[in-house]
Amino acid sequence: MTDRRIIGREYEQHLLKDICGEAESRLIAIYGRRRVGKTYLVRQFFRDRFDFFFTGSFETPMKVQLALFGGALAEYSGVTGPLPKTWFEAFDQLKSYLSGLKKKRLTVFLDELPWMETPKSNFLKAFSYFWNTWASRCDGMKLIVCGSATSWMLDKIIGDKGGLYGRSSRSIYIAPFNLCEVEQFLARRKGIVWNRYQILEAYMILGGIPYYLDMLDKGLPFDKNIDNLFFREGAPLKTEYNFLFRSLFKSSMIYQQVVETLAKKNKGLTLIEIKEALKSSDSGTLSEVLDNLCKCDFIRKYAAFGKKKNGVLYQLTDLFSLYYLKFLGGQTGLDEHYWSNVKESTRKSWAGYAFEQVCLHHIGQIRSKLSINGVLTNVCSWSLPKQIDKDGTEWPGVQIDLLLCRADHVIDLCEMKYCNALFTLTADYEQHLRERKDTFAHFTKTKDALHTVLVTTYGLKENKYAGIINATVTMDDLFIKGM
């Protein structure tokens, strides 16, 4: 049974319930990008019934962190003692307090763990010692650690090769909401009843990040909401982009540079192309940065069809970053009513690409509509510049952003189109789709059947050109419950 106060997260709740039902001690590491709802999930699931709870502070000196830790310990124990001077002392005091509770089950929640590790603090060594020498041997102990700095959590806690190697009993990843969960969140938490086209547009701007969605005001029109969040004086999300990287990564500048480089190339870039764009000579560091950005849901790594080597592309898929860099990055003096009055052509060019990214976030829903959930499917892309054969045959340049390569020997060539009505195929567009399929078949030499799949908002208008479409996926299909 899941908690109805928590939107989605059914699997995560079942996992937590199973873990908490075990008699053995467990170190539970929960990770996911900033603002995604990790803390909310833990606090709601446990109903704030912790034997000890402490949250690290961003860019706060060790001395202050220790004072805050000591204060939290005094509040829980009811005893005011000397403030710890080191993290070893802090965890020793925590051990003494917990030992005195004489309980069969203990629940400790340390939130924003990465922020507690300040330079020369020895925090991680003290934490490892606390867990390895006492907490891990304390039956019934459930020690939950949480952090927005996903790369830190994966490197230092979940995949640590030092004192915590293999000690994380469970790791739980918290992903952004999908469209179905955003719809539930807006209706149940905010009392906002919008149509799905409006919810889709909100998702294309804010992504599935609960913290951002919670800022929406049900008493205001959609465009006015966006103006208030991004463009008015003191808008809460106007400075979020820069803080987001500083809070996630210690060397945040290189991460921002990579994201902003990828934002300029819709189809994505290879490692070599990113390296050249940044004028970087350190492939090792750049590979680590790209890997961490993938882990934090900012970018995706995908393969080009037919290329096993040197065909890996990196593409910016974080919707919030895409919106910010398109409309606010490097710009000043924008009118506070900018979004309410932005040119339709400007909005349309952004929306088309943002919708493609929404589709990539909902591959499971697309597969469900195509009834291929049980079919092994690889997701990739394919592109080809304009070509002229030796016999003089001209082939158009082709870019296919989403291919579903199925084990049943079918390849779905997905065409993603954002519009505010039924999509109408014209003679020219039908010819474009036919040439695209023929070009793909000619140059890949594939023997698989090729299906053209249209993913669009309201569906396809029937006319004499619509027959080239083998299947249509609509906006409503993307709202299917998480796959």
| Ordered mean pLDDT values, 10 residues apiece, the chain (483 residues) | 77 91 90 91 94 94 96 93 94 95 92 93 94 91 90 78 58 92 95 94 96 95 95 92 83 89 89 89 81 87 75 90 91 85 89 94 95 92 86 85 95 96 96 94 94 97 96 96 67
pLDDT of residue 243: 87
pLDDT of residue 479: 97
Helix 196-206 and helix 179-188, axial crossing angle in degrees, nearest 10: 110
Answer yes or no: do 196 and 164 share one domain: no
pLDDT of residue 247: 80
pLDDT of residue 385: 87
Answer yes or no: do 227 and 277 share one domain: no
Answer yes or no: do 223 and 338 share one domain: yes
pLDDT of residue 3: 62
Answer yes or no: do 384 and 261 share one domain: no
Distance, CA of 287 to chain centre: 19
The residue among 53, 157, 153 whose CA lies nearest residue 110 is 53
Buried b or exposed e, range 86-113, using 16+ CB within 10 angstroms? ebbbbbbbbeebbeeeeeeebbbbbbbb
For residue 41, give the amino acid letter.
L
Domain that holds residue 136: 10-173
Is there a domain that residue 318 lies in? yes
Dist CA 409 CA 391 (whole Å)? 31
Is there a domain that residue 5 lies in? no
User: For the range 193-202, what are the long-range contacts, defined as Cβ-Cβ under 8 Å and sequence gap of 24 or more?
Assistant: 194/222, 196/475, 196/476, 196/479, 197/420, 197/457, 197/475, 198/222, 200/355, 200/358, 200/457, 200/475, 200/478, 201/351
pLDDT of residue 482: 62
Backbone angles phi, psi at 431, to 5 degrees: -65, -40
Answer yes or no: do 409 and 439 share one domain: yes
Provide the CATH number for the domain around residue 122: 3.40.50.300
Domain boundary among 130, 155, 173: 173
pLDDT of residue 164: 61
Is there a domain that residue 4 lies in? no
Answer yes or no: do 136 and 226 share one domain: no
**Tokens standing for 319?**
């919707």
pLDDT of residue 148: 84
Is there a domain that residue 217 lies in? yes
Answer yes or no: do 28 and 110 share one domain: yes
Give pTM, 2 decimals: 0.90
Provide the CATH number for the domain around residue 315: 1.10.10.10
Is there a domain that residue 25 lies in? yes
Backbone angles phi, psi at 104, to 5 degrees: -75, -30
Domain boundary among 306, 341, 357: 357
Answer yes or no: do 316 and 419 share one domain: no
How many folded domains does the chain comprise? 4
Burial class (CB in 10 A: 0-12, 13-18, 19+), 124: buried
Is there a domain that residue 467 lies in? yes
Answer yes or no: do 38 and 156 share one domain: yes
pLDDT of residue 306: 75
Answer yes or no: do 220 and 254 share one domain: no
